[in-house]
Amino acid sequence: MKFELIGEGFICQGKPEGKRSAAGGSRAVALSNGELLCSFGRNSGLGVNDFAMGIARSKDGGLTWEEQGPIWPHLEDTYSIIGSISHSPADKLFLYGISIPIDQEGELFWSNESQGIKENKLFWATSTDQGRRWSEPQLLSLPIKGSAEAPGALCVSRQGHWLACFAPYNTFDPEVIVDRQQIVAIISEDEGKTWEHTAMLRFPEEHSGGAEAWIIELDDGRVLGTCWHVDHQEKQEYPNAFSISHDGGRSWGPTHSTGIMGQSTALAALPGGRALFIYNQRKHGEVGIWLAVVNPTDSNFGVESNEIVWKAQTATQSSSSGGHSEWTDFAFGEPSVTPLQDGTLLVTFWCAQPSGKGVQYVKLAMKN
């Protein structure tokens, strides 16, 4: 499989300075009416705890975008909210992510000392009018100790079950002991009224864990989960990890290596049980956004092709190593990929490059 670049540009651009000057966490969906929606969060800069969720809409296949939002302006001074958009087979839209209380203007949600995230909750919200109006965020307490990092979108299975995942992180309190050697999957069979949880991915290596995880239902009914596998002491580098579920996400097979040395993960299903796997490359290859086509089995990720689809000018904003603990210096990240009705692909990601900052897109054609 080869990918041909057929267009690129900005969905929304960062502002020179001030509150909501930065944008990130972009995810896109294609609606049945041909419109495209891209969700993202605006905040004052990497690590600042003042996210406000926004939506951009395109009516011309992604050539131009109109920013709409913030979605919940009445919550802007109280909660920092960042989430990802997705849709069900019935075209109902979802936002899923984390909600962090704001105690002081300009505070950070990240602590270098604890390598943790300010204590938070998961949230979900829905829209039934193609993203013009949204329900209030429904908060969900974490089923285990810690804080959540949850950039991946909520998945609605063919059975109508809701599936999502998160990476457990330390909080700001060093007394709270967090089991970080896992990615947690949550599932609701009654449209969010009740939830169960299980370990989607489990890491036996000491001081290792996951980040930026994703979950999708494949075309053949299996459920695939992936994540960035990290060493919290940064003494080792691990390939991204994956696991497969054969019962709708209730239980999971062993965790295996994808064989891909990347950072961040996002997924999209392709016909025949295959998938698109998109990730950042900052340290182990040409710097930029890479996209792979995979045909996974229970123990083999089945990489069929793997190539760069966007070349970055710089991996980091200064001279840091680009390791997980130095993420506030990253110069691009959180890519996602969305198959469109015309057979093309829309890739979105945030960037802070010399050529511009904001949420950028590239549009690709797939060539055999």
Residue 87 lies in a domain: no
Of residues 218, 221, 239, 219, the one with CA closest to residue 229: 239
pLDDT value, residue 20: 75
Residue 202 lies in a domain: yes
Please, are residues 228 and 212 in contact by the beta-carbon 8 Å criterion?
Answer: yes
Q: What is the DSSP letter of 20?
A: T
Q: Which pair of tokens denotes residue 184?
A: 């947690």
pLDDT value, residue 364: 97
pLDDT value, residue 322: 67
Residue 272 lies in a domain: yes
What range defines the domain where residue 332 resides?
97-118+134-344
Residue 355 lies in a domain: no
Q: CB pairs under 8 A, 24+ apart, for 307-311?
A: 307/2, 307/3, 308/281, 309/3, 309/5, 309/347, 309/362, 309/364, 310/8, 310/347, 310/349, 310/360, 310/362, 311/286, 311/287
Length of the chain: 368
With 0-12 CB in 10 A as exposed, 13-18 as middle and 19+ as buried, what is 343? exposed
Residue 22 lies in a domain: no
Residue 317 lies in a domain: yes
Entry pTM: 0.96
pLDDT value, residue 18: 66
Residue 241 lies in a domain: yes
Residue 295 lies in a domain: yes
pLDDT value, residue 37: 98
Provide the CA 48 distance to its chain's centre, in angstroms: 18
Provide the CA 161 distance to its chain's centre, in angstroms: 20
Handedness of CA 327, 76, 180, 347 (dihedral sign): negative
Total domain count for the chain? 1
Handedness of CA 236, 148, 279, 254 (dihedral sign): positive
Here the CATH number for the domain that contains residue 158 is 2.115.10
Residues lower than pLDDT 50 in the chain = none
Query: Alpha-carbon distance 40 to 162, whole Å?
Result: 21
pLDDT value, residue 233: 82
